[in-house]
Amino acid sequence: MLLAHVLSCERIDLYAMYDAEVTPGDRTTFRDLVRERTKGKPVAYLVGMREFYSLDFEVNPSVLIPRPETEVLVSEAIHRLPVDAPSRFLDVGTGSGAIAIAIAHHRPHATGVAVDVSAAALEVARRNCTKHKLDERLTFVESDLFAGLAPEDRFDLIVSNPPYVREEEWTTLDPEVKNFEPRSALESGVDGLDLFRRLISESPNRIHPGGWLLAEFGINQVDLLRDLVARTELYENPLFVEDDSRKPRVLCVRVKS
Ligand SMILES: C[S@@+](CC[C@H](N)C(=O)[O-])C[C@H]1O[C@@H](n2cnc3c(N)ncnc32)[C@H](O)[C@@H]1O
């Protein structure tokens, strides 16, 4: 991947180019990338790109690298939005914009708003949006949860992959994650649910009756989330959807009509 990146070709092309000579400049660039990789820097940051939901996204160290598990969240969102009628959704903590862009790509009648507290992340998200030709249907707003939205703004569906790592869990994370990815994108208080608490309690004010809140969560958080949802008394019974490795991963909960 690193060599293909340096030579601006596809990986498959390298097999056909086995007798090509690499220029001294490309060799130096390649060597520098390999050196960075041996220090643990993720390949996605080195090549500035990551595939998610079969779409290419620009990434840099100000955004989380989109994860395969999050594709489950996107599928659940797409299936709840109408195929051929208008709908409106909100992506909370958009990072690279991957979730909002994948949803809008698959639901051509949907419009969306994507928020993040990080201005640097939003710059990346806006570039990804333009690259995927979705500027007319997606809006990016710097906002702490809903604070930057108009008070009357409502959505059919809210989707979020919020930070959900517990404070004490941080040191146990893979060095490739904790040494390179933004901590503010991953960690959220003692039990990892600081942002979730706000999301679950404030979302019913922002979702049309009968609309959905969908959010990705971490290991051992099902019972805590079930309890948070029940306490609001504003939602129907939650569903917990598993990821491909059979771990509960996505909370799907509908606001009472
Ligand atoms: C786990 S990352 C998810 C990024 C992207 N949605 C994805 O799935 O690849 C969480 C994102 O939430 C953002 N965030 C953290 N606290 C927030 C808040 N209070 N309001 C809005 N966004 C927040 C972070 O900056 C980060 O981009």
Query: Which CATH number does the domain housing residue 250 bear?
Result: 3.40.50.150
Rounded to the nearest angstrom, the distance between the alpha carbon of 41 and the centre of ligand 1 is 21
Q: Among 50, 89, 129, 161, which is best to mutate for testing ligand 1, by the most ligand atoms less than 8 A from CB?
A: 161
Q: What is the pLDDT of residue 18?
A: 84
Whether ligand 1 lies within 6 angstroms of the CB of 62 is answered as no
- Is residue 55 a part of any domain in this protein? no
Q: How far apart are CA 130 and CA 142, in angstroms?
A: 17
- Is residue 24 a part of any domain in this protein? yes
Q: Which domain holds residue 223?
A: 61-254
- Is residue 10 a part of any domain in this protein? yes
Together in a domain, 30 and 124:
no
> For residue 94, which atom of ligand 1 is closest to its CA?
6
Buried b (16+ CB within 10 A) or exposed e, 2-38: bbebbbeeeeeeeeeeeeeeeeeeeeebbeebeebbe
Together in a domain, 103 and 17:
no
Together in a domain, 34 and 103:
no
Q: Of all protein residues, whose CA lies closest to atom 23 belonging to ligand 1?
A: 93
Q: Among 65, 140, 195, 198, which is best to mutate for testing ligand 1, by the most ligand atoms less than 8 A from CB?
A: 195
Rg of the chain over all Cα atoms, to the nearest angstrom:
20
Rounded to the nearest angstrom, the distance between the alpha carbon of 91 and the centre of ligand 1 is 9
Q: How far apart are CA 111 and CA 131, in angstroms?
A: 17
Backbone angles phi, psi at 2, to 5 degrees: -70, -45
- Is residue 44 a part of any domain in this protein? no
Half-sphere exposure of 176 (CA within 13 A, CB side): 11
The position carrying tokens 């979702």 is 207
Q: How far apart are CA 89 and CA 219, in angstroms?
A: 26
Nearest to 118 by CA among 78, 88, 163: 163
Q: How far apart are CA 140 and CA 114, in angstroms?
A: 5
Give the residue ranges of DSSP H helices in the chain.
Answer: 2-6, 11-16, 24-38, 43-47, 70-80, 98-106, 119-131, 175-178, 194-202, 222-232
- Is residue 184 a part of any domain in this protein? yes
Q: Among 117, 169, 221, which is best to mutate for testing ligand 1, by the most ligand atoms less than 8 A from CB?
A: 117
Whether ligand 1 lies within 6 angstroms of the CB of 102 is answered as no
pLDDT along the chain (257 residues), means of 10: 96 90 96 98 98 98 97 98 97 98 98 98 98 98 98 97 95 95 95 96 97 96 97 97 95 97
- Is residue 86 a part of any domain in this protein? yes
Q: How far apart are CA 235 and CA 246, in angstroms?
A: 25
Together in a domain, 104 and 229:
yes
Together in a domain, 35 and 78:
no
Together in a domain, 9 and 95:
no
Q: What is the pLDDT of residue 30?
A: 97
